[in-house]
Amino acid sequence: MSSGGVARVFRGAFAHSTRDSVLSVHPDFVLGVNEQGKIVFFEDGTNVESLSHQWGFETSDIELLAPHEFFMPGMVDTHIHAPQYAYTGTHLDLPLLDWLNRYTFPVESCYVDLDFAQDIYTKVVKRTLCNGTTTACYFATIHTEASLLLGQIADDFGQRALIGKVCMDQNSMVPNYKEQTDECKDETDRFIHELLKKKYALVKPIVTPRFAISCSSSLLSDLGKIAKNNDLHIQSHISENKEEVQLVKELFPDCTSYTDVYLKHGLLTDKTVMAHGCYLTDEELMIFHEKGAAVSHCPNSNISLISGFLNVRNVLKHKVKLGLGTDVAGGYSPSMLDAIRRAMDTSKALCIQDAQLQPLSYKEAFRLATLGGSEVLSLDDCTGNFEVGKDFDALRVNICVPGSPIDLFPRDDLEVILEKFLNLGDDRNIVKVYVAGKQVVPFS
């Protein structure tokens, strides 16, 4: 079919978000993907004849979706800890700082063992892909070799990923899980250099100070310079729970806020994503907006570790880029569908406390999980929806697979089917996953 520059053509129902529309549904559209995996046309199904002449494909080559199927953009997990997948779904009995010391740091220390890392990292990449995560923003550990291995595994399976070697030179609770400041800087440089040298099409490094508590001022400054000199993304945590916010105040008395710590060290840019932000003030959100920095909302983790609620409406009011994260394993589910549901639950819980607030709709949550996430990671020029010129990152969803958790009724239209999938569906309904035009699920 590629004679006219088109490798695949799909016809059926599509749902996505655009800049102007929180949800745009198309019951009968036709979409073409070229050899490079980019979308070359996305038009009403009635135009199929003229498109076939223009692009040189036979109408018999079109892949037709069934009436109970639709395409949606791949989901973007803007915050996930790959090494913590080893204990996901367990150990949710402590608040953040105790939880890190009791469970996280001892487990992350094990990633010096590359066989251990290979096993867990293979499982987390496969699991997230099956759950429809086409793009993942991963924290790894302090270990350079294991972090490079995560990049290789993501590339092997075809997932779009940002990989962060974790940086921390302060850790009094688990003293063996940290690096010396110079060592951390040198290893971060080496990690970035080695990962870029691989020339993976969809896997890139991201500068990753764990959070202000575990990094010296000197290390934070070094990381800010590394990010600037290499024009790299940055990720960390901010204002997750009250105890942490208070501790940051004590550790950085010269800074006016948690946000100010990252700002002063050159770590708040238009390619920065900060997880949580439950306790960000309006003043801090204004700085986020000015700098173009983004927030990753991780509602499952915020509830599971009893950290707090993020007021999504307030973040959006300040025009701050916002996406969703699973935050495995503080969040017990690796599925972005869970993140969508918990985001709506959190929003409704806040509405119970304050009747003035408007709850988050399923359409808005859908946008946060797709286009919103791509904006957060500054990847919205190449993914997030079905605009012509973008990569085809997509989920083929089938509501009527054997054993489906969803029942359909005669009057269910496309919007109803989408809403049911977001609220009730799971990986069984995600029958195919495409990243940059390549089918990655089912695994070959």
What are the structural domains, with CATH classification, of the chain? 6-73+386-441 (2.30.40.10), 75-377 (3.20.20.140)
Mean of pLDDT over the chain = 97
Q: Report pLDDT digits (tens) over 167-203.
A: 999 998 888 999 999 999 999 999 999 999 999 999 9
Tell me what pLDDT residue 444 has: 86
pLDDT in tens, 289-325: 999 999 999 999 999 999 999 999 999 999 999 999 9
Confidence of residue 5 (pLDDT cuts 50, 70, 90): confident
- Provide the pLDDT confidence category of residue 4 given band limits of 50, 70 and 90: low
Confidence bin at 2 (pLDDT 50/70/90):
very low
Residue 226 token pair: 């590394």
**pLDDT confidence of residue 174:** 85
Q: Is residue 427 over pLDDT 90? A: yes
Task: Report the 10 Å Cβ neighbour count for 170.
Answer: 14
Is the predicted pLDDT of residue 103 greater than 90, yes or no? yes
Confidence of residue 3 (pLDDT cuts 50, 70, 90): very low
pLDDT in tens, 241-295: 999 999 999 999 999 999 999 999 999 999 999 999 999 999 999 999 999 999 9
**19-71 pLDDT, tens digit each:** 999 999 999 999 999 999 999 999 999 999 999 999 999 999 999 999 999 99
Distance CA 203, CA 196 (A): 9
